[in-house]
A and B are shown apart, each in its own frame.
Chain A
Amino acid sequence: MELIKLSGILIVIIGFALKLDAILIILIAAIVTALVGNLGVIGLLETLGTSFIANRNMAIFILIMLVTGTLERNGLKPAAASLIGKIRNASAGAVIGAYGIMRGIFAAFNVSFGGVAGFVRPIVMPMAAGAIEARGKEPHEEHVEWLKGMASGMENIAWFFCQVLFVGGSGALLVQSTLETLGYKTSLIDLAKVEIPVGIFAIVTGTVYYFLKDRKLYRKYYGDKK
């Protein structure tokens, strides 16, 4: 029965789908696969050890943390807030789009400002609401609800598709190591380069879509007049 070798994959899929402890799932999947794949205990330990050591570059985030926290301490967030605060006379959708562009550019350098909790909630949302008030309208509850969804969406889109542009990001490192175990050599710069059109397309798609969606909602909730 060759199919039994797939039990590890099944364990991963079911385990993650059931939201079991991620590290436990991986450990069980590795043990089961090693046993049914005739690696034995020593084979499992050696494969685990060798591959973990070969993949230590994925822990580079630990070294990066040496500065991330201190950057935060020295006012990175207020600096980013004042950067985005420079846009004037923008619609709420344009504010969200501007945040997406800024978030995307900085994500390519592996710089974050605190995500939804640290930046969208305290800075982007008040700016978006302020944009509506600046046009003499009282922000409509349902409009604000949509804006929250759009701002979170922009945050996710910009982060997902632009963090892969950072040379040395964990996504590319995982891809590189997976390909290497299969016998394909790749370089981190090539892996980042191939994502440049994706990053640009994702940011353009996100900003244009949210800008148009906001304009449509604005007309719906506040009438046609500007």
Chain B
Amino acid sequence: MTFFLSQDVTLGTKLLEVIYIIMGLITFYTGIKNVLDKENPSRLGTGVFWCTLGIVLAFGRWIPSAVNGVLIILMTVPAILRKVKIGKIESLTEEYTDKKYRDIGMKIFIPALSIGVFAILFAIFLPDLGAIVGVGAGIAVSIIILMFLSRENRPAVFLRDSERLLSTVGPLSMLPMLLASLGAVFTEAGVGDVIAGLVGGFIPKGNVNVGIVVFAIGMAVFTMIMGNAFAAITVMTVGIGAPFVLNYGADPAAIGMLALTCGFCGTLCTPMAANFNVVPVAMLDMKDRFGVIKCQLVPAALIFIFHIFYMILLK
């Protein structure tokens, strides 16, 4: 409580912490709901995963770092053992959503778009609070509009619907956060310095343009091999981006971010990104296993070339 009353903590930080507590409670609820759910085939594992995550999200600020580290490893155990499962899920019927559409109509786009709009507004006009608090405000507005549009949207409905989605996306939704932590471990252990020393033999030092091209191609190729641009960006930024491009004064926001979308160009070209390129083949009953990738090669190449010129221009 002293944290929220303290004069030294900015309002933005306090609001952010409120958001994390709400997020943590939603996650904790997901865990408890599944522990009590007799239809869940793995109640204990599912409960451990979501409850631990909920505690770290909500109260991690006040827990010692090493204890948080233990909790995170504990959280990954049921995920790795594939013991995090989906329980009873209430499925939405098409009749119901169609009926709601006839009642609400195109007005549904107002709450849908409000989150993004508020994120932008806060980021531009209230930078002290920041975009994430803006997302939170947008969600609050969106909830109020939805409750206004239909009496059936009671608070419990929002909670149940978020539990349904969270359970459906499952532990893999934690991948970006875990990758970011892995990146921190890499940096802490000095992995970047080693790569820099190694690659320094091939890339002439101080030639930022060559560095950019290597970074961009590296991102695309590594993403093709790994099938995941999020995994590639941590490794490549530490190893190539920082020592060979950013070190020489290139704009970190531009180069760092565009490298990610260079990786997405790689995603379009690889069967390793099964979710995007292989699963649709099955879902659309296509005969050619590479039917989706074949349609993506030309646009991917064009967008990639655009990236190279754009990055060199912006650096």
Mark A residues whose CB is within 8 Å of B.
2-3, 5-6, 8-9, 12-13, 16-17, 19, 21-24, 26-27, 29-30, 33-34, 36-39, 42-53, 55-79, 82-83, 106, 108-111, 116-117, 120-121, 125, 145-146, 148-153, 155-157, 160-161, 164, 166-168, 170-175, 177-179, 181-182, 184, 186-192, 194-195, 197-198, 201-202, 205-206, 209-210, 213
Instruction: Give A178 to B99 CA distance when docked, in angstroms.
Output: 45
B residues 236-269 in Cβ contact with A at 8 Å: 237-239, 242, 246, 252-254, 256-261, 264, 267-268
Known contacts A34-B185, A121-B284: does B162 contact A195 (CB below 8 Å)?
Answer: no
Tell whether, in the assembled complex, residue B68 and residue A49 are in contact, meaning their CB atoms are under 8 Å apart. yes
How far, in Å, is B180 (CB) from chain A's closest CB? Answer: 5
Instruction: Give A157 to B268 CA distance when docked, in angstroms.
Output: 8
**Set of chain A residues within 8 Å of B63, measured between Cβ atoms:** 49
Q: Any chain A CB within 8 A of the CB of B11?
A: no
How far, in Å, is B27 (CB) from chain A's closest CB? Answer: 6
Tell whether, in the assembled complex, residue B314 and residue A194 are in contact, meaning their CB atoms are under 8 Å apart. yes
Q: Any chain A CB within 8 A of the CB of B227?
A: yes
How far, in Å, is B266 (CB) from chain A's closest CB? Answer: 11
**Set of chain A residues within 8 Å of B68, measured between Cβ atoms:** 45, 48-50, 52-53
**Which one, B189, B246, B253, contacts A182 given CB within 8 A?**
B246
How far, in Å, is A211 (CB) from chain B's closest CB? Answer: 12
Known contacts A67-B111, A125-B284, A198-B261: does B182 contact A30 (CB below 8 Å)?
Answer: yes
Tell whether, in the assembled complex, residue A202 and residue B299 are in contact, meaning their CB atoms are under 8 Å apart. yes
* B contact face: mostly helix, strand, loop, or mixed: helix
Q: Any chain A CB within 8 A of the CB of B1?
A: no
Tell whether, in the assembled complex, residue B80 and residue A27 are in contact, meaning their CB atoms are under 8 Å apart. yes
**Set of chain B residues within 8 Å of A82, measured between Cβ atoms:** 101, 106
Instruction: Give A3 to B195 CA distance when docked, in angstroms.
Output: 8
**Set of chain A residues within 8 Å of B146, measured between Cβ atoms:** 67, 70-71, 74
Tell whether, in the assembled complex, residue B284 and residue A116 are in contact, meaning their CB atoms are under 8 Å apart. yes
The 4 A-B residue pairs with the shortest CB-CB distance in the complex, in nearest-first order = A37-B189, A69-B161, A45-B69, A75-B101
Max chain B C-beta neighbours (<10 A), residue from A45, A51, A120, A189: A51
Tell whether, in the assembled complex, residue A182 and residue B242 are in contact, meaning their CB atoms are under 8 Å apart. yes
**Which one, B60, B105, B222, B299, contacts A153 given CB within 8 A?**
B299
Tell whether, in the assembled complex, residue B166 and residue A65 are in contact, meaning their CB atoms are under 8 Å apart. yes
Tell whether, in the assembled complex, residue A67 and residue B115 are in contact, meaning their CB atoms are under 8 Å apart. yes
**Set of chain A residues within 8 Å of B179, measured between Cβ atoms:** 26, 174
**Which one, A5, A79, A181, A198, contacts B105 given CB within 8 A?**
A79
**Which one, B174, B180, B310, contacts A197 given CB within 8 A?**
B310
Instruction: Give A56 to B222 CA distance when docked, in angstroms.
Output: 26
